[in-house]
């Protein structure tokens, strides 16, 4: 099968200035599918959240997968060859065996084209129906490819089924699309073969599905890899500090941001995975959301083509992005030998004495691709803790595109509080102590709620 999956993970999504994090590279490989006949079951999510472009792109990806396996097995007249077979299982409220394990490309494509998106998401029944397709008397290798875009919303826990399948030698790959309802990445990691970094692929964009399925099929159809040389160059904003672990082969830090990994072979006689982990820290003056990769070079004697994801990390150096613009400035140049210089800077309104109160709030566990509506209510307290209204603001917080839910920090929420509103002292002195209370309301703007069944 060749290199069947690759992945690049980072141990943290956000760090402070100077904080270290780890980068983990994973590669898995398997023997040639021609010499190692394989039964493959595609398990395809057709729940209601897949309606529209997501389902159409899934169909393109699944059919591309079938096409590549057909060509790789020397199939003739639209028949998968070399003893390998493919089956289709789809699922929503329950799962359906759309085909048995067959070799007809035409029948497989017809089953894929027939899928309609509606209903909940039952992963347990999906894995159960998929495992039932395998013939216990067959000597073929077994592979499950699970595709899903959401959380389990029907049925039970599929882990007992996936654990039993893996114990019997079945390889399980998971492709996750971050849909409108979010994605349980931890569940995909638990279902899949280990290390999960080699057998789980996450994408936030359904337009990438055809490419994801194509790459997986091409890698499955190639032979195992020999004489592997991989060179990873991280972004110049980072410095490689230490080699943490290499499970197979040898690794060497070449420069401050470059590391090389060598392996004699991988997956030549049996399914095999390897990982390389190293630690990295950001350099000075690098802040914000930064792409970790600069480039990865890979070569082996079999000519396997691989692609690693390019994760991003947020470096927080306390440089807030303000929601309100600062006042305009005017440049004034005074010529030499002049005692009096006049310069008209236009008009400006008089500002009363007062206080500018700047608030910061952290919104916990915000899921990707969802905007947040945030309201801030500010009241002032008198000696008896009675509240007086001082301000109310609403704002839209843009969606983030990280693969998992994370906290979102909103900085620079400003309230202007003139001293004539001071309830402590009628003299309105700037030296008075004033007490305020802030209240927050937040909710998602984007959701998939519908009054009608999809």
In the chain, the domains with their CATH numbers are: 2-316 (3.40.50.410), 354-444 (2.60.40)
Mean pLDDT of 216-222: 71
pLDDT tens, 225-242?
A: 889 999 999 999 999 999
pLDDT at residue 124 in the model: 96
Mean pLDDT of 208-237: 83
Smallest Cα–Cα separation from 309: which of 188, 182, 211?
211
Q: Is 294 a residue whose pLDDT tops 60?
A: yes
pLDDT at residue 210 in the model: 85
The Cα–Cα gap between 6 and 216 comes to 9
List the structure tokens of 169: 């030698």
The Cα–Cα gap between 172 and 142 comes to 9
pLDDT tens, 14-61?
A: 888 888 999 999 988 877 666 678 899 999 999 998 988 889 999 999
Angle between helices 53-72 and 209-220 (to 10 degrees): 20
List the structure tokens of 142: 């077994």
Phi first, then psi: what are they for 79, rounded to 5°? -120, 130
pLDDT tens, 259-272?
A: 999 999 888 766 77
Smallest Cα–Cα separation from 125: which of 90, 171, 163, 170?
90
Smallest Cα–Cα separation from 435: which of 357, 380, 390?
380
Q: Is 1 a residue whose pLDDT tops 70?
A: no
List the structure tokens of 237: 């904003």
pLDDT at residue 34 in the model: 63
pLDDT at residue 350 in the model: 53
Partnered with residue 416 across adjacent β-strands are 356
Locus of tokens 């420069």: 255
Q: Is 442 a residue whose pLDDT tops 70?
A: yes
pLDDT tens, 145-186?
A: 999 988 899 999 999 999 999 999 898 999 998 876 778 888
List the structure tokens of 174: 């998971």
pLDDT at residue 145 in the model: 93
Q: Is 325 a residue whose pLDDT tops 80?
A: no
Q: Is 287 a residue whose pLDDT tops 90?
A: no
The Cα–Cα gap between 162 and 167 comes to 9
pLDDT at residue 372 in the model: 93
The Cα–Cα gap between 247 and 275 comes to 5
Mean pLDDT of 184-212: 85
CA distances from 200 to 5, 189, 398 (A): 8, 7, 28
Locus of tokens 């399948």: 165
Angle formed at CA 385 by CA 381 and CA 386, multiple of 5 degrees: 75
pLDDT tens, 380-439?
A: 888 778 888 999 999 999 998 888 888 899 988 999 887 777 665 555 455 667 888 999
């Amino acid at each position: 099968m060749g290199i069947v999956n690759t992945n690049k993970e980072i141990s943290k999504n956000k760090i402070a200035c100077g904080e270290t994090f780890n980068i983990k590279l994973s590669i898995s490989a398997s023997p040639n599918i021609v010499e190692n006949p394989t039964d493959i079951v595609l398990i395809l999510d057709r729940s209601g959240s897949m309606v529209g472009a997501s389902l159409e792109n899934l169909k393109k990806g699944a059919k591309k997968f079938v096409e590549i396996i057909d060509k790789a097995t020397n199939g003739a007249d639209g028949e998968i060859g070399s003893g390998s077979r493919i089956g289709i299982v789809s699922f929503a409220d329950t799962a359906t065996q759309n085909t048995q394990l067959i070799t007809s490309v035409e029948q497989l494509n017809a089953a894929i084209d027939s899928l309609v998106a509606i209903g909940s998401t039952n992963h347990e029944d999906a894995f159960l129906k998929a495992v039932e397709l395998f013939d216990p008397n067959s000597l073929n290798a077994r592979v499950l490819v699970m595709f899903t875009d959401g959380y389990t919303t029907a049925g039970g826990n599929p882990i007992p089924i996936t654990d039993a399948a893996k114990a019997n030698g079945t390889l399980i790959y998971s492709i996750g699309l971050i849909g409108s309802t979010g994605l349980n990445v931890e569940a995909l990691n638990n279902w899949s073969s280990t290390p999960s970094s080699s057998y789980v692929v996450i994408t936030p964009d359904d337009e990438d599905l055809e490419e994801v399925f194509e790459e997986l099929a091409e890698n499955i159809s190639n032979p195992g890899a020999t004489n592997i040389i991989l060179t990873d160059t991280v972004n110049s904003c980072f410095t490689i500090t230490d080699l943490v672990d290499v499970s197979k082969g040898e690794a060497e830090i070449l420069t401050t941001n470059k590391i090389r990994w060598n392996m004699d072979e991988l997956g030549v006689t049996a399914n095999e995975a390897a990982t390389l982990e190293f630690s990295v820290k950001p350099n000075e003056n690098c802040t914000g959301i930064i792409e970790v990769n600069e480039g990865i070079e890979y070569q082996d004697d079999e000519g396997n083509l691989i692609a690693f994801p390019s994760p991003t990390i947020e470096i927080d150096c306390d440089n807030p992005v303000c929601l309100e613009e600062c006042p305009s400035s005017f440049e004034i140049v005074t010529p030499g030998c002049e005692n009096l210089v006049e310069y008209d800077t236009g008009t400006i309104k008089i500002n009363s004495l007062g206080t500018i109160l700047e608030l910061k709030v952290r919104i916990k566990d915000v899921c990707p691709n969802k905007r947040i509506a945030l309201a801030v209510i500010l009241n002032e307290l008198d000696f008896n803790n009675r509240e007086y209204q001082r301000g109310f603001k609403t704002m839209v917080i843009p969606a983030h595109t990280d693969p998992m839910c994370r906290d979102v920090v909103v900085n620079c929420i400003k309230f202007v509080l003139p001293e004539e509103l001071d309830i402590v002292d009628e003299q309105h002195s700037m030296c008075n102590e004033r007490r305020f209370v802030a209240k927050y309301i937040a909710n998602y703007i984007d959701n998939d709620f519908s009054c009608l069944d999809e």
